[in-house]
Structure formats: structure tokens, C-alpha cells
Chain A
Amino acid sequence: MNDRLRTAVFLVGAAALGLLLAWGFSGLAPFGNYPGPYGDVLVQIAPNERQIQNVVTAINFDYRGFDTLGEEFILFASVAGALVLLREGIEEEDRPHTEGLPDRHLPPRSEAVRAWGLALLVTIFVFGVYMVLHGQLSPGGGFQGGVILATVPLHLFLSGGYRVFRPLTPEALIEVAEAAGAGAYVVVGLGGMLAGIAFLQNVLPLGETGSLVSGGTIMVINVAVGLEVSAGFVLLLSAFLRQLLRLRRSGHAA
């Protein structure tokens, strides 16, 4: 099949699929008229029953917490999978990692980048922790805050270079942190099973709406997810950065 035939065949199929999709979508309610009961029921009962203000967090970690457990493990499995795929091949020896090709001179980082990097590091870290902890009070939560926290080592790399990044992100420790975050979610769920009847039942005291300690197990799961997400993304970053440096060393275009 040459290219033009391929594209033509695809366009015919896509046009047909597009028409059928449009026909199907025409059965949906017009934009802005959400009809269904599920969301409305939860919006009514969640703030009172769980003493939290962010209903989306309540859904994620309590009502549909089992989905989020699966999602957390998707992240866990993908990080493990990426580590499997990016591992050192048999022919790659373990040489000390350096930046830059031997015959190229890398310009030194400017002082402005270094200064801003350091200043932003602390700010981003605090902001990330704030996002994780306030998941039940305002938009945010473990996933969002975890991703923000994961950019902290990235700023380390950008401002200080690989030589600063590497020793400050010990892989063994971060792997343990990631596993702990993932395992903690399951343990909290099992705790619900032991104390009450069902897995992931919310068994901790619920606290007061609007305070930092509220929502019971939602809060604990939130922190566990934040830990797991940030550790997972740092591991991904490390693995990809290692590959980048291997490519540079072996002379391939980066």
C-alpha cells in the first residue's frame, strides 16, 4: 500500500466514523444540561457525610476510592515498566555519569539560572506540600500535589546540573518511598476491612469541615498518593535523564 492509497482509505473510514459519531452525539443532552442523578446525589450528601469541602476529592478517595487504587497502581506499574524498559542493556557498562561529550565544551550555567532555581526550589516544594495537604478543602489533592513535588528534582537538574541532581535523588530510597505510598493505600483499605465490613471503608474520625484534619481516611490516602506520585515521577525523570546522558556519551544525536 503506498502512502496516498493509505491516506485515502483512512480518510474514507474516518469520515464514516465521524458521521456515525455525530449521529450518536446528537442523542446527548445539549451542552450545559447535565441530567443525570449520580453527580447530584453525591454533591448533596458528600459535604455532610464526610466533612470535607472538595467533593471531587471525596469521590476520588472515598466513594470511588477503589478506582483510584487501580489508578495509583497504573502509575506504579508504568514506573516499574519504564524502569524495566530503560534498564542498562547487557552491552552497556556502568561508567560514571558525566554530562557533555568529551570534545564539546558546555557553557557554564548562568548565575541567574542558579539563583532562580534555588529560590524556586523551596517555593515549589512548599506549594506542592500545600496542594497535597489541602486536597479536601480546595481543588488539589495527592495527584496534583505529587506532580508539583516531582518537579523539585527537575529544578535541581536545571539549575545545578546532573552532578548535583544525582546524589540528591538516591534511587533506592525513592523506590522505597514509592512502594510505601502504593502499599499504604492498600493497607488503609485493609484497615477498613478489619475494623468495619468493607474494603476502603472510612473508619477514622472525620474531624471538622474546613480544618486540615478532616475526612478521615481520605486525608491519609491523599498523603499516600502524593508520596507515591512524586516518588514515581522522580524515578521516571531519573531513568530518562540517565538515557539522555548515555546517548550523549555514545555520540548519538541527543
Chain B
Amino acid sequence: MPVLAPLPVVVPLLIAALLSGGGAIVPRRLADSVAIGTAVFATGVCAALLVQASLSPAPLVYWFGNWPPRGGVAIGIAFVIDPLGAGLATLVAGLTSAALVFTWRYFDAVGTLFHALLLVFLAAMIGFCLSGDLFNLFVFFELMGAVAYALTGYKIEETGPLQGALNFAVLNSAGAFLALTGTAMIYGRTGALNLAQIGRALEARPFDALVVLSFVLISTGFLVKGALVPFHFWLADAHAVAPTPVCVLFSGVMVELGVYGTARVYWTVFDGALGPHAASVRGVLLGIGVLTAVLGGLMCWLQRHLKRLLAFSTVSHAGVFLIGVSLLNPTGLAGSAIYILGHGLVKGALFMGAGVLLHRFSTVDELELHGRGAKLPFAWVIWGADGLGLVGLPPFGTAIGKALIESAADSTWVMAVLLLSSVLTGGAVLRVFGRVFLGWGDAAPRQPGGGRESTGAEEPESHAPPGRTPWVMTVPPLVLLGLALATGLLPALVSHSLGAAVEFHNHAGYLAAVLGGQAPAPAAPTVRTSLADAAGSGIIATLLALALALVSLRGGGSLQRVAAWLQPPQQVLHRLHSGYVGDYVIWLVLGTAAFAALLSGTIFLLPA
């Protein structure tokens, strides 16, 4: 058994309890150091688990309380550690360490509670990555949520954060309860909560509507967290108002966990039963991913509030992650994994860059910041280089990930969707770079009815003097940027990710590892892409994004006419994102019903 497995979860929890209990007597710097130290420790242990899992042919299994299965029935809770889960956990811990460095000496309105909450958040996310039990996944999901709702509403002096936290909390909780309904249904059928055991039990008899419905409900809960359309409305509201280090974690890893959860549950529980109908699952999930990628990209382009812009770009990228996963082959999954890694680092750095701008100028409105960023050299690098990273310029990890997904899809219109998403989101960031740092474009709103959009004036987040940017705010994003470049340059990245993806897809192997038994080792797939392909598509996307940003900033008269013609659909999109939680719940119900109807329809009415 991997002895270290529970440590990255329980040590942060213990330190969080100690920090909160000793909050009155612990000096601020000690609390900061202890928190950063704990996050770094968790990163190290997760990395060790990653190495251990990569070296082992089967997933590592750790039974809590020393309760291995009895007579084929799993009676305890297990952590099942495979390279993808451990890799995601390492990314989580690394980003949390960077975010904690960013909060050094600031965010002291609540003493040590901020650090305690961030450590609990870290523990919950790592637990979610490593867990092998369906209800345990739900518990960590809710633990993540509880901390996230509170941290989103941190700035209580304005009503925006409070309302954003309310929308976030209601929608995510409703999604979690739908997932729990699905869990209860599948428990009623199989009498098991361990993922492997449910998978084995479902293989034993032919599936029916209950299995399909419970897959839909559980996936919906995770897809709400993953901000896929039409469950994505909460993300922009929450991101726009949450403190910067919290946004780094939300966009960098929390949303990705939603996609990971769906993939994990599908491949361990439902693959055996729904395997013959994989085409239906693939089609519906691919549709959701495509819709999200396109809508997220469009909404991202239309924003002037920087954090909201970055939030919608996360929505679009979440769609791309789901596309990679939904292709149901290891190459696509490996592509999504590498893309998540590259995206997390780049997006984290971008949010920190927005935090730097907020700190210096007390606003994150793109138009108000026109030209003011010119005197911040580090912010130049962060926004410019990360903009290119977001588009997918090689050698950033995002480029390789996208290339793998495209090769797995092997279809021109998926490639077109990926291109559109990169161009819109990367172009938006590059447009921001041009406007804020180069002083191009207009400073005043051009579109009539521009008042309906959110402006970006905000209260400062921390009590540091605004005249200079402290190094704790510039070094972490630069480090993240460096890591994003470095991981893209790693020669063994693609082969290791492919191996990890193959192990993730190995349903029989997972069952055998957890419940005992033997399973044949699957063959590794051949990759039909090369580094040259990755370079090609990445460079095309970058050029298009640069062109788009340039045209929008320097367009002039012809642009006015195009913009006026595009006004009505733009207004419709803006009005759909109304900020009212009742609307979001209506979309949740409609989306769940549509998902269930489409999936059951294609499975039961079409021939296999």
C-alpha cells in the first residue's frame, strides 16, 4: 500500500485546524510560512505519489482503516492512485503554493482564517483527485464547495461578492444534490459505493434506464462544477468578485476537477455497462463540449471586466477539456491532461497579473486601464507571454495538448472549434495587452448600450501600499509562466501522458487492482501527431488571434459598421447572463432534462 497516500489530505487539514485554533496568538508571518510550507509539503508528497504510480503497472490502492474488501465486497474507503490523478493532485498543490505566496502579508482582515480555509480547500481538491469511492467524491466535492462559497464572498463591503457567492453556492449545491440523487439510484441497484465494485456489479446484468439516468445525474453534478454550458453561468459571477489567489485556484484547478470527475466516474463505473453505446455517450458529451467552447469564447471576447473575461475563457477551455475526454480514446484524454496542465499554469499567472493591476490601479476594467500598464515591466511579460500561452503557441503545454486532441478527433470541424476557441480567448487577452500596455485602441466605450456590461471598478484587495508592486505579487506568476514553458519542453511529456491515459482507460485493470483479480495489460496507442503538427496549428492560431486583436484595436470605421450589425445578438447573449440565480436554476433543469433525453434517446432508440 502506498503509505504516503493520506498525507497530502490530512496534513493540510490538521494544520488548518491548528492555524484556526491558534489564530489569536500566532503571528502573521509564522502563519504565512506554515501555510506555504504545508502546501509545498503536499506538492512534494503528490509528486512522490505520481512517480510511484507511474512506475507501477496498475493503480496504487490504499484502504483507509485497513479495511480491504471482504469476499469481493468493498467495506471501507479507498484511495486509488493512478498517474493522471496524482498528476492533477500535484498541479493542485503547486498552484495552491503559488497562491499562498501571493497572499503573503495581505488578506489579513480575518487573521489566520483565510489560510486555514485555503488549506482545507487544498486538502479537499487532492482528496477528490485521489478518491476511489463515490460518496467520498461527493464529500470532498461539498468540502471544496463550502470553502469556495465563503472565500468568494470574502469582500463583504460590496454586494457584488455576496451575490456572486450566493449564485455560486445555490447552483453548485443543486448540482451536488443531483449527483447525490444519481448516487442513491446506483446504490439502490448495486448496493455498493466503491467505484470499482459498482463497475463490477453493473457489468453483471444488462443496463436499463436507471443506469443511464444515474450516469446523467452524477455527470451533471460534476459538469456544473466544471462550468460546462448550460451550467456555466455561476463561474463568471464568482470569478469577477473573488479575491485573486482564490480565482487562481478556481480557474486553474477547481473547474478542471469537474471534467476529471466525469471522466473518472465514466471509466470506472459505467464503461462496462455503457461500453457498447460509447458512440452515444461520445456524441452527447462532444456536443456539450463544442457548445461550451464556442459560447465561452464569444462571451470572453465581449467582456471588458478583466476577471470576467478570464472566467469566460476558462469556460471555453473547459469545453475543450471535455471535448478531449469525450472522444473516449487515450490520445484525446492525454491531450486534455497536458492541456489542463498548461492551461492551469498560464491561467493562474494571468489571474495574478490581473491582481497586480487591481493592486496598482484599483480597477480591472479594460477600458479604464487604457495605457496605464505601460510602466509595469513585469506585468508586460505576464500578460503578453501568457496571452500567447493561452492561444497555444508552441512550446507551451497548451499547444501540445491541443495537437493531441485534434489528432484524436481526426475531424475538421472539431479542429475548427478548437481553433475558434483559442483565437477568441487568446485574442481577447492579447487585445487587453494591446490596450492596457501598449495604449492602442479606445479608452471610452464605443458601443451604444455599453452601459449594460459590467465595468471593472473594484475595491483593492489588500492593504499593501499601492505605489509599488511587492515581489510576492510578481514572482509567483513569473514562476508559473516559466513552468508552463518548461513542461511544454519536456521530451517525455507526451509518452508519459499517453501511458497515464491508457491506464486511466483500463476499466478491467482498475477493477482488478481494487478488488483483486487479473487483467491483461492493454497496448499503448500510436500517436499520429508530431511536434511539427503541434507547431503548425499553434502558430496558425497565434497569428489569427494577433490579427483579431489588432483589427479590434485599430479597426476604425469599417469596424464600427460590423460592430453595429453584431449588436442585437450581442445583447441577447448579455441578457441571458442575467446574474439572477433563478434563471440559472431554470437552465440547470432544462440542461439536465435535455442531457438525459438526448442520451437515453440515442441509446435506446438508435441501433447500437
Check A85/B153 contact, CB under 8 A, given A36-B187, A38-B73, A198-B1.
yes
Q: Which residues does chain A contribute within 8 Å of B190, judged by CB atoms?
A: 36
Residue of B nearest to A201 (CB): B66
Residue of A nearest to B116 (CB): A80
Of B63, B140, B191, B214, which contacts A198 at CB under 8 A? B63
Pairwise interchain contact A74-B139, C-beta atoms closer than 8 A: yes
Pairwise interchain contact B188-A29, C-beta atoms closer than 8 A: yes
Residue of A nearest to B585 (CB): A10
Residue pairs across A and B with Cβ atoms less than 8 A apart, 12 shown, are A14-B589, A26-B209, A28-B210, A38-B73, A66-B64, A77-B117, A77-B120, A175-B20, A179-B20, A187-B14, A192-B66, A200-B64
Pairwise interchain contact A74-B77, C-beta atoms closer than 8 A: no
Q: A160 at the A/B interface (Cβ < 8 Å)?
A: no
Residue of B nearest to A199 (CB): B6
Q: B151 at the A/B interface (Cβ < 8 Å)?
A: yes
Residue of B nearest to A176 (CB): B21
Other A-B contacts than A28-B189, A45-B75, 15 sampled, CB-CB below 8 A, are: A9-B590, A24-B209, A29-B188, A45-B70, A66-B65, A70-B127, A76-B20, A76-B120, A80-B120, A81-B151, A84-B113, A84-B153, A87-B156, A175-B24, A197-B66
Could you give, for residues 220-253 of chain A, a 1 whenever the CB lies within 8 Å of some chain B CB and a 0 otherwise? 0000000000000000000000000000000000
The count of residues in chain B whose C-beta lies closer than 8 Å to any C-beta of chain A is 83
Of A14, A23, A81, A87, which contacts B117 at CB under 8 A? A81
Q: Which residues does chain B contribute within 8 Å of A71, judged by CB atoms?
A: 139
Instruction: Tally the A-B contacts, defined by beta carbons under 8 Å.
Output: 218
Segment 196-238 of B: residues with Cβ below 8 Å from A: 208-214
Residue of B nearest to A16 (CB): B593
Q: B437 at the A/B interface (Cβ < 8 Å)?
A: no
Check A77/B143 contact, CB under 8 A, given A82-B150, A175-B20, A193-B6.
yes
Check A199/B113 contact, CB under 8 A, given A28-B189, A41-B70, A175-B21.
no
| Alpha-carbon distance A182/B20, docked complex (angstroms) | 10
Pairwise interchain contact A35-B191, C-beta atoms closer than 8 A: yes
Residue of B nearest to A71 (CB): B139
Lowest 6 CB-CB distances: which A-B pairs, in order? A36-B191, A81-B150, A179-B21, A27-B210, A24-B213, A183-B17
Q: Which residues does chain A contribute within 8 Å of B469, judged by CB atoms?
A: none
| Alpha-carbon distance A35/B201, docked complex (angstroms) | 12
Could you give, for residues 174-185 of chain A, a 1 whenever the CB lies within 8 Å of some chain B CB and a 0 otherwise? 011011101100
Q: Which residues does chain A contribute within 8 Å of B314, judged by CB atoms?
A: none
Residue of A nearest to B162 (CB): A85
Pairwise interchain contact B13-A186, C-beta atoms closer than 8 A: yes
Could you give, for residues 63-90 of chain A, a 1 whenever the CB lies within 8 Å of some chain B CB and a 0 otherwise? 1111101110110111011111101011
Residue from A35, A85, A89 with most neighbouring chain B CB atoms (10 Å): A85
Could you give, for residues 104-138 of chain B, a 1 whenever the CB lies within 8 Å of some chain A CB and a 0 otherwise? 00000110011011001001100100000101100
Segment 143-159 of B: residues with Cβ below 8 Å from A: 143, 146-147, 149-151, 153-154, 156-157
Pairwise interchain contact A25-B65, C-beta atoms closer than 8 A: no
Pairwise interchain contact A183-B143, C-beta atoms closer than 8 A: no
Residue of B nearest to A90 (CB): B157
Of A67, A90, A172, which contacts B139 at CB under 8 A? A67
Q: A204 at the A/B interface (Cβ < 8 Å)?
A: no
Segment 1-50 of B: residues with Cβ below 8 Å from A: 1, 3, 6, 10, 13-14, 16-18, 20-24
Segment 67-82 of B: residues with Cβ below 8 Å from A: 67, 70-71, 73-77
Check A189/B10 contact, CB under 8 A, given A36-B191, A81-B149.
yes
Pairwise interchain contact A201-B18, C-beta atoms closer than 8 A: no
Check A182/B153 contact, CB under 8 A, given A83-B110, A196-B66, A201-B65.
no
Q: Which residues does chain A contribute within 8 Å of B153, judged by CB atoms?
A: 84-85
| Alpha-carbon distance A84/B17, docked complex (angstroms) | 15
Segment 19-74 of A: residues with Cβ below 8 Å from B: 20-21, 23-29, 34-39, 41-42, 45, 62-67, 69-71, 73-74
Q: Which residues does chain A contribute within 8 Å of B150, judged by CB atoms?
A: 77-78, 80-82, 84-85
Q: B93 at the A/B interface (Cβ < 8 Å)?
A: no
Pairwise interchain contact A36-B140, C-beta atoms closer than 8 A: no
Pairwise interchain contact B113-A80, C-beta atoms closer than 8 A: yes
Could you give, for residues 104-116 of chain A, a 1 whenever the CB lies within 8 Å of some chain B CB and a 0 otherwise? 0000000000000
Give min CB distance, B233 to chain A, whole Å: 14
Of B22, B151, B586, B592, which contacts A6 at CB under 8 A? B586
